[in-house]
Amino acid sequence: MTTSRDQRASAGETRDAEFARLEQVNAQLLHAVDAHATVDQAIGVLIAVHRLPPAAGFEVLREVSQHLNVKLHTIAVTLIRWALGHQPLPEPLGEQLDAALRRCSQHDPPEQPESSG
């Protein structure tokens, strides 16, 4: 026979397990938001430096990540640190970035400014 003390202990364990699960989910969501913001900032660097549309900026980051077999977030952090002057671009990253930018420019020629007149 289950006593009320056993039921309370079981309910407490269930709450503790649920709380731990929710803490883990919360930590994962915070990490995802931070990683997304970092990738968005790196796309902003590409937009500003290379005059790319946002979708092309993401595509360039994705290609570089895949060619180097390095996580997209890591590529983004390195690119941001370079843009801020904290570190030079590592040679393999710079080479892959140049190649991805060339491929991107072949697909999407730069827009010409409208002439006034």
3-state SS track over 6-18: HHHHHHHHHHHHH
Q: Is residue 65 part of a domain?
A: yes
| 9/4 Cα distance (integer angstroms) | 9
Q: Is residue 86 part of a domain?
A: yes
- Expressed as residue numbers, the domain containing 64 is 14-107
pTM for this model (two decimals): 0.69
pLDDT (tens digit per residue) in 97-116: 999 999 988 766 545 445 55
Q: Is residue 62 part of a domain?
A: yes
Measured between its terminal Cα atoms, the distance across the chain in Å is 92
Q: Is residue 90 part of a domain?
A: yes
Domains in the chain, number: 1
For 8, list phi and psi in degrees, rounded to 5: -65, -40
How many residues belong to the chain?
117
pLDDT (tens digit per residue) in 55-100: 999 999 999 999 999 999 999 999 999 999 999 999 999 999 999 9
Q: Is residue 26 part of a domain?
A: yes
